[in-house]
Amino acid sequence: MSQPESAVADSRAGDRAGGSSPSGKESLSALAERHGLRRAIARPSLPVYVRQLWDRRHFVLTYATSRNVSKYSDSALGQLWQVLTPLLNAGVYYLMFGVIMGQRKDLTNYTAFLITGVFVYGYTQRSVTGGAKSISGNLSLIRALHFPRAALPLAYTIQEFQQLAISMGVLFVIVLVTGESLTWLWLLIPFALLLQTIFNVGLSLLLARVGAFVRDMNQLLPFILRTWLYTSGVFYSIPARMKDQPEWARFLLEFNPPSVFIDLMRHLVLNSYPKDLAAHQFPHSTLPQLWLYAGFWAAVALIGGFWYFWRAEERYGRG
């Protein structure tokens, strides 16, 4: 007799004998434990979970790429919308904030300043939005296949990174055309994007769990991200706008994660930006401080988000 059949027979015998456990469920649990059996959907330990996720790295990359290819398959311009959408948004922001509200007077190259902010913030915004829907929007896949559920929010972030890679090429052209020069700091851009990607992954994992169990989150998230947009210095220079405000208020805005990654990228690609800050004697974070802040937010988001997501691994996909 096989082990599962023997276990069932032992369970029936125990029930007929009136075992000490108060319910059949408890006796089956004790029996399964005695025979070394465990639930198929039991949450693995954290090191095992990480190894499982690494073993499925090809699935994650393929899933992200396929979603990226199919996203604009029904439009005439196709993948070109990956660049056109942020550029059109930047054009609207330039008219409203740069021209009408006069934000461009604080900066030598407001065009490159604005587009850098739009591209960098858009990367985090899209990653978070996709991550929040990654579990609730793929229930059929989750219920049909067994794989680490963290693969889904990770794939959504990789998808957005693939789009960002194209956008950054356009950004570099705009920066050079608008009068900026190529410097050695451009060599550090991949490291800045790596830190932002790590931050995006962690935040996506956190919101993926929230979005899986709090269905109203997807309705509330656009308002949260819009508020985050207006407080992250995308359209304006935080040091310039906050120079007459309390020091703690300026620090809160500058320490805000999107503000950190946006300001870090501006310091790397715009040689006119630090000069503008120095010329106007605006208080601002230095480049070493920005690297420290970026590393801090990346580590906190990844560790906290991954742990928080992993804790609910066995609950994803249940009815």
Contact status, residue 147 vs residue 56, Cβ threshold 8 Å: yes
252 lies in the same domain as 158: yes
111 lies in the same domain as 211: yes
Q: What is the pLDDT of residue 50?
A: 92
The secondary structure of 289-314 as a DSSP string is HHHHHHHHHHHHHHHHHHHHHHTTGG
CA distance 165 to 204: 19
CA distance 93 to 311: 41
26 lies in the same domain as 83: no
Q: What is the pLDDT of residue 90?
A: 76
27 lies in the same domain as 127: no
Which of the 8 DSSP states describes residue 147?
A: S
> ∠ CA 6-11-13 to the nearest 5 degrees?
95
14 lies in the same domain as 111: no
Q: What is the pLDDT of residue 285?
A: 80
Q: Report, as ranges of residue numbers, the positions in the chain whose pLDDT lies below 50.
A: 1-25
CA distance 123 to 119: 6
What pLDDT, in 10s, does the model give residues 115-172? Answer: 999 999 999 999 999 999 999 888 888 888 888 899 999 999 999 998 888 888 888 8
97 lies in the same domain as 31: no
Phi and psi angles of residue 234, each rounded to the nearest 5 degrees, phi first: -70, -40
Q: What is the pLDDT of residue 214?
A: 86
Sign of CA dihedral 284, 290, 296, 299: positive
How far is residue 83 from each of residues 28, 162, 173, measured CA to CA in Å? Answer: 58, 12, 13
Q: What is the pLDDT of residue 26?
A: 54
Structural domain range at position 300 = 46-315
103 lies in the same domain as 22: no
18 lies in the same domain as 166: no
97 lies in the same domain as 170: yes
The domain total for the chain is 2
64 lies in the same domain as 111: yes
92 lies in the same domain as 1: no
Closest CA to 276 of 226, 314, 238: 238
What pLDDT, in 10s, does the model give residues 25-39? Answer: 456 656 656 655 555
7 lies in the same domain as 139: no
